[in-house]
A = this chain, B = another copy of it.
């Protein structure tokens, strides 16, 4: 019998999140107000987010205490297990040890509740009664629905219509947790009505859904706010519970990774596993930290670093980040959670500083890796997670070629129980390779031309 897992007792859960702002060798450029071109202040964000979360967003404190009521909810599934993938190692036949942090054990099946729970808690503490948000494939919307149910908040989710129609299971999850899930564009907002007037059959987009959710939140008045599931500093910070637990678990078996890997869409699960290790790197540790993104949405590997909007409708501040342009519509790959034109400013900043690396993978090779994983390790990974597994496979191949041992840690962001149609398409040979044409990068540069430079 060989040890497969390191588990932590409830009492061992980390009591603080890690805020990397306190350790940055160079500060980040601030978000800018698109009208004035000046840095955005807390007051600008007050109609959209509760002030306690705005304070977290701009905090420079290294450690932020996790309130007891949040810990109580985290303990429903956290600490999550750290597992060794011995069967997958044998299949790869390379000199690697592979550890993964399994975030699929949350009730929503992904890492998203790590920030949904605190966001619901802080909104409730601020007196908010209703949260509005948007969702693409539905991971974020379902996680926030669950968190709102637990804290007695109303939840409205604007879900991109094409996903609402094609992926009914996550909509059903939201309903089961008591949330209202509205296909977007809808006639509930001016933004939605405008789109419907021009395109009655619009399939929707994340850009439109964000516009609807923000408008709905602001229109809701004093007790209504908006919530975002990735990209922002406080969201990435909540996710550091992943990396902090992993560090505790690795210490118990006296292991330190040579390589840390996470898939990256908006950047929050990658931030979650990696930021505590970036801290080690800033303090002299030698390791590589790799974000795995889709070849069809290669924000970090091919996009410019620039100020750009977080959404199509230009309702957000200008954010300093790697971007493919706020008007970019990624190919309809199955890893819906990675179809985002931008990248979390904190991840973008660390990539610029050389503290992180990025690599892109075609959808086909990610599903190849995911199916191999399922048949050796059991768990069927989410399509997003398959990108991290593809990066692990690439690292293992390199280790074999170089004849050098290495220890890999990656974030297993979620299981694929609600994404099985994607596997069905892959196994039926319906997925084709896709590389972003160079013209798209030129288009992205045009979209941000004239914006301030970070």
Contacts and interface: CB of A to CB of B under 8 A. Distances in A.
Interface of A: 1-5, 7-11, 13, 68, 71-73, 75-77, 83, 86-87, 105-109, 113, 146, 149-150, 168-169, 172-173, 175-178, 371, 374-380, 415, 417-418, 420-421, 423-424, 427
Nearest to A68: B1
A140 B418 CA distance: 18
Contact of A4 (B72, B178, B380): B72
A294 to B, nearest CB: 20
Contacts of A175: 423-424, 427
Nearest to A70: B1
Contacts of A421: 168-169, 172
Contact of A150 (B3, B378, B415, B418): B378
A375 B149 contact: yes
B3 A75 contact: yes
A173 B420 contact: yes
Contacts of A2: 72, 75
B146 A176 contact: no
Given A2-B72, A77-B378, A107-B377, 6 more contacts: A7-B7, A73-B378, A150-B376, A168-B424, A175-B423, A177-B374
Given A173-B420, A417-B418, A375 B3 contact: no
13 contacts: A2-B75, A4-B75, A5-B10, A7-B9, A76-B83, A76-B377, A107-B379, A107-B380, A108-B378, A113-B378, A149-B374, A175-B427, A417-B417
Contacts of A113: 378
A288 B112 CA distance: 39
Nearest to A142: B380
Contacts of A420: 168-169, 172-173, 176, 418
